[in-house]
Amino acid sequence: MAGYVYIVTNQKNGTLYIGVTSDLERRIYEHREGLTPGFAWKYGCTRLVWYEEHWDIGSAIQREKSLKRWYRQWKIDLVETMNPDWNDLYLTLW
């Protein structure tokens, strides 16, 4: 089963939330609609600004754990490499 690591935010250079899922479209929909209470919901992190696909969920989980240990600036640099304008990538998933 494929896995995805993703970053959502509330605004450019705002609060960052790193998550992992096997269904990226569904999970981002849940963030946008506030269906899952937690950190991302509390801080309004609904904008998908970065994601990465993995062959299996296990490697995606390992990558998520690694990214969560990164310095904030490294995470910002990662987002800006893929998405320099911090556009919401949700609608590009289809």
In this predicted model, what pLDDT tens digit does every residue of 12-71 receive, in sequence order? 999 999 999 999 999 999 999 999 899 999 999 999 999 999 999 999 999 999 999 999
Q: How far is CA 76 from CA 7, 33, 34, 70, in A?
A: 10, 24, 24, 10
| CATH code of the domain covering residue 48 | 3.40.1440.10
Contacts 24+ apart (CB under 8 A), 79-82: 79/7, 79/9, 79/16, 79/49, 79/50, 82/50
Q: How confident is the model at residue 94 (pLDDT cuts 50, 70, 90)?
A: confident
Q: Answer yes or no: is pLDDT of 74 > 90.
A: yes
Q: What is the pLDDT of residue 1?
A: 80
Phi, psi of 69 (to 5 degrees): -90, -10
Q: What is the pLDDT of residue 42?
A: 95
Q: What is the pLDDT of residue 16?
A: 98
Domain enclosing residue 83, as ranges: 3-93
Q: Which of 2, 41, 55, 59 has the alpha carbon at shortest distance from 25?
A: 2
Number of domains in the chain: 1
In angstroms, rounded to a whole number, what is the distance separating the alpha carbons of residues 55 and 72? 26
Q: Which of 43, 26, 36 has the alpha carbon at shortest distance from 90?
A: 26
For the residues 65-94, what does the mean pLDDT come to? 97
